[in-house]
Amino acid sequence: MQNNLFSNGEVVKGYQVKVLNENEVRAAAGILFLFAIISFMNSWLMGEFLYTKIFVVAFLIEFLIRVLINPKYAPTLILAKFITKGQKPFYTGALQKKWAWSLVLAIIMFYLRATCKFNP
């Protein structure tokens, strides 16, 4: 029996590998991009870094859930599932997405934000 909690992707008839719905993945990327732009523009234009700190931590948690646990439990992918509910699914390999979601960017952002001594 397969443990669904720590699974990457889903089994779909007609595919030999586990897959993810590309529409949901792209919608989740758009949601993350929206929050990133809002937080970084607030930092740049207003000089307020609180929202950037919150976003970087949320981004790290999101990617930890996607890579280490299961993408279907990631908050933005749950929201994206509702947004793309009426669309025909377009499946891509889950392993490729897991590689693309490597934690390198999230960890670097978190490290730089946590160790930054810049306070305007």
Query: For 7-43, what is each residue's pLDDT tens digit?
Result: 777 888 888 888 999 999 999 999 999 999 999 999 8
Strand partners, 55: none
Q: What is the pLDDT of residue 30?
A: 96
Give CA torsion, residues 92, 95, 99, 100, to 10 deg: 10
How big is the chain, counted in residues? Answer: 120
Cα separation of 7 and 19, whole Å? Answer: 11
d(CA 76, CA 55): 13
Distance of CA 86 to the CA centre of its chain: 21
Where in the chain are the domains?
19-115
Give 53-85 pLDDT, tens digit per residue.
899 899 999 988 988 888 889 999 999 999 999
Higher pLDDT: 87 or 2? It is: 87
- When pLDDT is cut at 50, 70 and 90, the band that residue 1 belongs to is very low
User: Cα(22)–Cα(26) distance, rounded to whole angstroms?
Assistant: 6
Hey, what are 18's tokens? Answer: 């586990």
